[in-house]
Structure formats: C-alpha cells, structure tokens
Structure 1
C-alpha cells in the first residue's frame, strides 16, 4: 500500500497547481482544508493531499499572483485563510488545462499503439 500511495503522490505533484486552481475557479474562495477535502472527495480518495504539499503550493500560487488570500471564519468559527483565484490565476488555469489535455492525449496514444 505504501508504494501505491507514493506513486499516487508523485503523480499528484505535477498536477497540484492545476487541481487547486480548478477547484477555486469552480467553487469560489476556500480554506486549505476545504480544498483538500473537495479534491479528495471528488477523486474518491484516490488523490490524497498532504499539508506538506498543499500549503507550499498555495503559498507559491499566491506569491505568483495566481491566488489571493484573506483571513475569515471557517464553518466552525475558527480563523482560517481563504484563497481565491485571480485573473492571472484564471489565465494560468487555462494554460495548464490545455497542457494537461495534450499530455493525457499523448499518453493515451502511446498506450493504445505501443
């Protein structure tokens, strides 16, 4: 099980920004735990986000101008940082979705014809 999970996390690393940007574009502002829960739920727990991966990605995307953040209260009235996508983030999302589509099509072609 450890090996399968490691491979899953390795594959996830290359798509984390895409998943975070898409989640925020679709769902609106969310805190880190909410982003994690949403992605894990939609993937039927196949994609598991670790705090050690998610929060550096959120910080990197914020620093790059793709996300903005502000403090707010969570569902249980705890202080939480909420992230939202910016116009630059939407542009990055469009580029990353196009790249992802090209990559998945190329891999599928190789798998079909190898």
Structure 2
C-alpha cells in the first residue's frame, strides 16, 4: 500500500499485480485481503465503508501515522539489507543458490 490517499483494496491489488507482473511475479486476492486485515488489526491502516458510491458497498483503506512509521522503519531496514541481498544474487546469476533438483516420488 502506498502512503497516499485512501484507496480501495481492489485498486491496491490491481496496482500491486501490475507492478509484480513487470517482474514476472504474481500475487492474488488471497494474499492481499488477509494482509490488509492484519494491517488493520495492527493499527497500520484504517478502513471506512462507502455505500453511496454505488449499489455495492466498498471498503477504503488509509495508512495511519503508525503505518507511516512502520513503513519508514521497514524502508530503513530494507536499505540496510538490500546490498547484501544483491550481493548474494550476484554470486548466483542463475538464481538457483545451488538448490538440488526436486526428487520425484516413486
């Protein structure tokens, strides 16, 4: 979730899906909605229902001050470990990490 104005989960999912697709990755609604629920339960986002915009109620999510702090803390940690992750990936250009081939069951 970006630290911008409130948005619907569907918009977050679509934006995230588009971003992941550019990297040949994917994540479905089955991943996003539980994550948003945990973020809400932890006080990182708040939600509000809008029943006037259409015939179907829509839930909007907005990041809280605690969520902004959590995001800033995550960014600080990520910037610390990102070079190490890059170094590991550079040591294994095929990104296999010398993983053994899966064994077939007989």
Do the structures match in fold with TM over 0.5? yes
Identify the structure with the greater helix proportion.
Answer: 1
Moved over 3 A (4+): 110-114
For residues 52 and 42 of structure 1, the distance between their equivalents in structure 2, rounded to whole angstroms, comes to: 17
Aligned residues: 90
> 1:47 Cα deviation (Å)?
4.0
Q: Which residue of 2 aligns with 1:98?
A: 76
> Which is greater in Rg?
2
Any unmatched runs of 5+ in structure 2?
93-106
2:19 to 17, 20, 42: 42
Offset from partner CA, 1:16-74 (integer Å, 9 cap, x none): xxxx2xx2x03x11111110111122343734331221111111000101000000159
Three-state SS of the structure 2 residue aligned to 1:46 is coil
TM-score (norm 2): 0.71
TM-score (norm 1): 0.66
